[in-house]
Chains A and B, each alone.
Chain A
Amino acid sequence: MVARPGCIEELAEIIRGSGPFGFQQMGLWSLPCEAYGICAMPQGAMGLCIDFGELNQMVDFSPADLIITVGTGTTLSKVNQLVGSAGLCVPYCADYIGGDDLTLGELIGLNLPHPLERQFGSWRDWILATKQVLADGTICKSGAKVVKSVAGYDIHKLFVGARGSFAAVAEVTLRLYPKQEPRPEARNSANIIHRVLPSDFDAMANSYRNAVFFDEATATIYANVPAFFEPLRFERDFVIRSGVGRMNFQLGQVNFLSRAKATLDPNNKLNPGALIP
């Protein structure tokens, strides 16, 4: 079953009144997200997918302050079209993970590396505030709609990369940057992303035959590999694979991830299994 809330209050109503479900943040089964495991309905489980496609309103845009607040169902291309008229952009490059028709909710939930990271950082650097629905249906916000704030704990940053497991983020405030020259379009999406410490970059680079993009600036390789490929691992590296879902999402800090899940979603309602197997 799929629900398509039109506003955050409807989203809260759905979450309050239902059991376990997965999030589908835009459209049904849009491939990269399914592949990376963001819509992680347990196989055979009865549940509900939430499509965030209608949560695509621009709440506030202040070009002079380089800030936008927007629904997480908005695609990256639409956001960049909106802010582009003021000479601004969200400098995320989604070329190697399926293009910029992914929504902000999907991109933030996945937090995959990208080729402009050395210059501009990534989602954790850009997210200033969020508005979300908690597992018990409470609507609340975190952060502030200004470029600098240390008021309270930065729990909105914990939602980055959480694959919808901690809360249903409906609205996000992002800092913006001057518009960039368009990059040549990528020919291929990658199905594996591997980042190492810079000292290991050459050794890693030599271990891939089918790299789509070598990003020496962040010591990252985007590649297309066969399903049986086992990457050569390095100290303190991380690997994210597409195409085989959550089982290949390498975990960090399992202790704290489990504690956070138990605290924020004690009944395991939100995207069960997407983050912690």
Chain B
Amino acid sequence: MKSMSELDDLALVLRPDQILTGAAVARVYDSDAYSVDRSKPTAVVLPETNEEVAAVVKVCVKNQIPITPRGAGTGLSGGAMPALGGVVVSLKRMNKILEVDSVNRRMKAQAGCVNLDLTKAVSHLGLHFAPDPSSQSVSTLGGNIAENSGGPHTLKYGVTAPHILGVTFVDAEGKIYEIGGTAPNCPWPDFTMLVVGSEGTLGIVTEAWIKLTPLPAAVKTALAAFPSVRAASEAVSGVIGAGILPAALEMMDRNILVALEQAFGLKTPPGTEALLLVECDGEESAVEREMTLVAEVCHENHAIEFTLAKDEAERKKLWTARKKGVGAMGRLAPSIVTHDGVIPRSKLPEMLDYVYAVAAEFEIGVANLFHAGDGNLHPCFYFDDRDPKQVEAVVSAGEKIIRRCIELGGSVTGEHGIGVEKTELLLLQFSEDDLKLQALVPLIFGANEVINPCKVIPNQKGCIEHKKRWRGVAW
């Protein structure tokens, strides 16, 4: 870790109020929302312009100080954890909307803008920013770009990548580039697509041109209660198989429903073991037709109850319950680790049986609320991270589940990213030769060992020996 004296150069490029140091700062910024692994930064900086970000990068490269870019710190795989200490570059002060171009349905905003604020800025024009991770009330555009964030409406609208038209990007040497930003879907290779989802390992995104999507003319949201998780899973396959593409298709199991009832008063009929939240949007007649078909499929799969939200207030209440679901789990235990494996959605019933069996084997609690339509699981293990045995059980159970996802032809992560959490798990999905190709990507961008080290690519030089340190008190 670098000492403060080696960070003195930062004072030449930033004002004192833009440089934070001290024990409290180090504690606050030692992890993101994946809190199992922690590592303290030496300093946190708050640049306000592209040029200041570039200047900070140059200082850090010159002094070989590790840099970790950070948005709101809501990431779930340790992408914003300063793995080798050094400087956290927080983009939180770069939170301005720079240009709204409603005619061309695009907007230029700084990376520190909160996701929901982007939509609020254009909703009066009948437009919105479609990616809606559950963290959207706090997570930032830059963080969403770094993680290629998903969310419930990914099923119809896609993850973050197709909504990013171009970025302003500071590379690992402190040079500023404009990438992309032409009329949509240029025919030549689009490097924006590589920057999105790169978890801040290639450089720092400071601004982006984002695509604005028209608000749908009509939206209907329904809750379907099922007597078993298997019945609900089969209804999901049935809906997709019937050629319906709902805007969202989310599943919640019994354990999460207990927390949601306590937190938000979400009532379910007796005998409910799983709940599907289904949303259809688009033209009014199409929405009506789709929702009728969804109801038919749910009833064919033994739904106990199928209820449509009767007004906008009720619809919003349902979504609040869904999006704050993981938070509500704080009622069940002090710590939560949410996994993020993906499977082909036709394998959902057998995979969920497996998740419950693994949780029973390791004697830990598990609740599931996830993007069923995408086959993107979110088994949430709840436990006490002050007990090293429980932490070990949670990590082992998670690995076992991810291993099964890969055996079923899936992926280690659907939307939370690799971060530090899953670098070793990536070896399950990719061969040595596959990783050789992955390792070429940072070279294309001229990335170096200073920019967000120890993330994404497994077994990076100088990272392996730090793993035990990150695990902190628990291990």
Which bracket fits the contact residues of B? 35 or more
Could you tell me if A140 and B434 are in contact, using CB atoms closer than 8 angstroms?
Answer: yes
> What residue of chain A has the Cβ atom nearest to residue B165's Cβ?
A236
Instruction: Render B399-436 as a binary contact track against A, CB cut-off 8 A, 1 for contact.
Output: 00000000001111111111000100010011101101
Could you tell me if A257 and B154 are in contact, using CB atoms closer than 8 angstroms?
Answer: no
B147 at interface, CB cutoff 8 A:
yes
Closest Cβ of chain B to A240, distance in Å, is 6
> What residue of chain A has the Cβ atom nearest to residue B183's Cβ?
A195
> What residue of chain A has the Cβ atom nearest to residue B340's Cβ?
A150
Interface-located stretch among A22-30, A44-52, A59-67, A184-192: A59-67
Could you tell me if B374 and A154 are in contact, using CB atoms closer than 8 angstroms?
Answer: no
Contact partner of B437 (CB less than 8 A), chosen from A140, A218, A257, is: A140
A275 at interface, CB cutoff 8 A:
yes
Could you tell me if A147 and B374 are in contact, using CB atoms closer than 8 angstroms?
Answer: yes
Interface-located stretch among A98-106, A160-168, A222-230: A160-168
Which of A65, A111, A125, A150 is the most central at the interface, judged by chain B CB atoms within 10 Å of its CB?
A: A150
B462 at interface, CB cutoff 8 A:
no
Closest Cβ of chain B to A23, distance in Å, is 15
Interface-located stretch among A3-11, A13-21, A245-253: A245-253
Instruction: Render A258-277 as a binary contact track against B, CB cut-off 8 A, 1 for contact.
Output: 01100110000000000100
Q: Inside 8 A of B410's CB, which chain A residues have their CB? A: 144-146, 149
B440 at interface, CB cutoff 8 A:
yes
Contact of A199 with B103 at beta-carbon distance under 8 Å, contacts A124-B193, A144-B410 already known: yes
Contact of A263 with B185 at beta-carbon distance under 8 Å, contacts A150-B417, A151-B429 already known: no
B441 at interface, CB cutoff 8 A:
yes
Could you tell me if B189 and A166 are in contact, using CB atoms closer than 8 angstroms?
Answer: yes
Could you tell me which residues of chain B, from 186 to 215, have a CB within 8 Å of some CB in chain A? 186-191, 193-194, 196-198
In the bound assembly, the distance between CA atoms of A264 and B189 in angstroms comes to 13
> What residue of chain A has the Cβ atom nearest to residue B371's Cβ?
A148
Could you tell me if A140 and B197 are in contact, using CB atoms closer than 8 angstroms?
Answer: no
Interface-located stretch among B59-67, B88-96, B156-164, B359-367: B156-164
Q: Inside 8 A of B431's CB, which chain A residues have their CB? A: 140-141
Could you tell me if A66 and B185 are in contact, using CB atoms closer than 8 angstroms?
Answer: no
Instruction: Render A106-131 as a binary contact track against B, CB cut-off 8 A, 1 for contact.
Output: 00001111000100011011000000
Could you tell me if B191 and A253 are in contact, using CB atoms closer than 8 angstroms?
Answer: yes
Known: A122-B185, A124-B162, A161-B189. 12 other contacts (CB 8 A): A65-B346, A140-B434, A144-B411, A148-B374, A148-B414, A150-B148, A152-B434, A153-B456, A154-B193, A158-B191, A160-B190, A238-B182
A142 at interface, CB cutoff 8 A:
yes
Contact of A236 with B438 at beta-carbon distance under 8 Å, contacts A124-B190, A161-B187, A198-B103 already known: no
Could you tell me if B434 and A142 are in contact, using CB atoms closer than 8 angstroms?
Answer: yes
Q: Inside 8 A of B443's CB, which chain A residues have their CB? A: 263
> What residue of chain A has the Cβ atom nearest to residue B77's Cβ?
A150
In the bound assembly, the distance between CA atoms of A237 and B186 in angstroms comes to 9
Q: List 21 A-B contacts (CB under 8 A).
A: A87-B243, A113-B187, A122-B185, A140-B436, A141-B431, A144-B342, A148-B371, A150-B150, A151-B412, A151-B413, A155-B437, A158-B194, A161-B189, A166-B189, A236-B182, A249-B188, A253-B179, A253-B189, A256-B191, A257-B189, A260-B444
B270 at interface, CB cutoff 8 A:
no
A residues in contact (CB < 8 Å) with B = 62-67, 87, 110-113, 117, 121-122, 124-125, 134, 138-142, 144-155, 157-162, 166, 178, 195-199, 218-219, 236-238, 240, 249-253, 255-257, 259-260, 263-264, 275
Q: Inside 8 A of A65's CB, which chain B residues have their CB? A: 344-346, 375
Closest Cβ of chain B to A66, distance in Å, is 7
Could you tell me if B104 and A198 are in contact, using CB atoms closer than 8 angstroms?
Answer: yes
Q: Inside 8 A of B346's CB, which chain A residues have their CB? A: 62, 64-65
Closest Cβ of chain B to A201, distance in Å, is 10
Could you tell me if A138 and B440 are in contact, using CB atoms closer than 8 angstroms?
Answer: no
Closest Cβ of chain A to B443, distance in Å, is 5
> What residue of chain A has the Cβ atom nearest to residue B431's Cβ?
A140
Could you tell me if A153 and B198 are in contact, using CB atoms closer than 8 angstroms?
Answer: yes
B184 at interface, CB cutoff 8 A:
yes
Could you tell me if B187 and A110 are in contact, using CB atoms closer than 8 angstroms?
Answer: yes
Closest Cβ of chain A to B130, distance in Å, is 13
Could you tell me if A67 and B194 are in contact, using CB atoms closer than 8 angstroms?
Answer: no
Could you tell me if B343 and A64 are in contact, using CB atoms closer than 8 angstroms?
Answer: no
Could you tell me which residues of chain B, from 112 to 165, have a CB within 8 Å of some CB in chain A? 147-148, 150, 154, 158-159, 161-162
